[in-house]
C-alpha cells in the first residue's frame, strides 16, 4: 500500500523557530517568501513513528517570475529574501538554476 502524500490544510512552524532571533530579524517580505516555500511542501507519514516528513524537500521550486506575478515583488527584493533565508539557515539552495537556460533553482527547507 502506498503512503498518502499530503499538501495539507495548514502549515507547521516550530515554536523554537518563531521565537528565534533569526526569525525576528527577517523582513516581512522574507517571512512571506518562507511561508510560500512551506506552502509548496508535500508531506508523508514515515513508518511506525507516524511522524510527518517532507517528500519534495530539495525539489521546491519558487521562481523569480512567480515572485513577480503572485506577490508583485521586485526581482531584487526576491533575491534579497532568498539570501536572507539561506543566511539564517531556514532554506538551502540544492540546485542553482540558470535563468538563461530555463533551468529553475531548487530549494529545501533546512533545519540548520
Q: Are 64 and 53 in contact (CB under 8 A)?
A: no
Q: Output the pTM of the full model.
A: 0.83
Residue % of the chain over a pLDDT of 70: 91
> Which residues are CB-contacts of 54 (< 8 A; sequence separation ≥ 6)?
41, 42, 43, 108, 109
Q: How far is it, in rounded angstroms, from Cα 105 to Cα 62?
A: 8
| Averaged pLDDT for residues 95-110 | 85
- What is the tens place of the pLDDT at every residue in 16-41? 888 899 999 999 999 999 999 999 98
Q: Residue 87: pLDDT band by 50, 70, 90 thresholds?
A: very high
Sheet holding 43-46, edge to edge: 5-6, 43-46, 51-54
Amino acid at each position: 500500500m502506498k503512503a498518502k502524500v499530503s499538501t495539507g490544510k495548514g502549515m507547521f512552524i516550530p515554536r523554537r523557530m518563531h521565537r528565534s532571533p533569526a526569525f525576528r530579524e527577517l523582513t516581512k517580505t522574507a517571512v512571506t517568501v518562507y511561508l510560500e516555500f512551506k506552502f509548496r511542501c508535500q508531506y508523508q507519514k514515515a513508518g511506525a513513528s507516524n511522524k510527518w516528513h517532507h517528500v519534495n524537500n530539495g525539489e521546491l521550486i519558487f521562481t523569480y517570475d512567480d515572485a513577480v506575478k503572485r506577490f508583485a515583488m521586485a526581482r531584487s527584493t526576491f533575491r534579497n529574501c532568498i539570501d536572507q533565508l539561506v543566511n539564517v539557515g531556514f532554506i538551502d539552495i540544492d540546485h542553482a538554476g540558470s535563468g538563461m537556460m530555463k533551468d529553475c533553482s531548487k530549494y529545501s527547507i533546512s533545519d540548520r
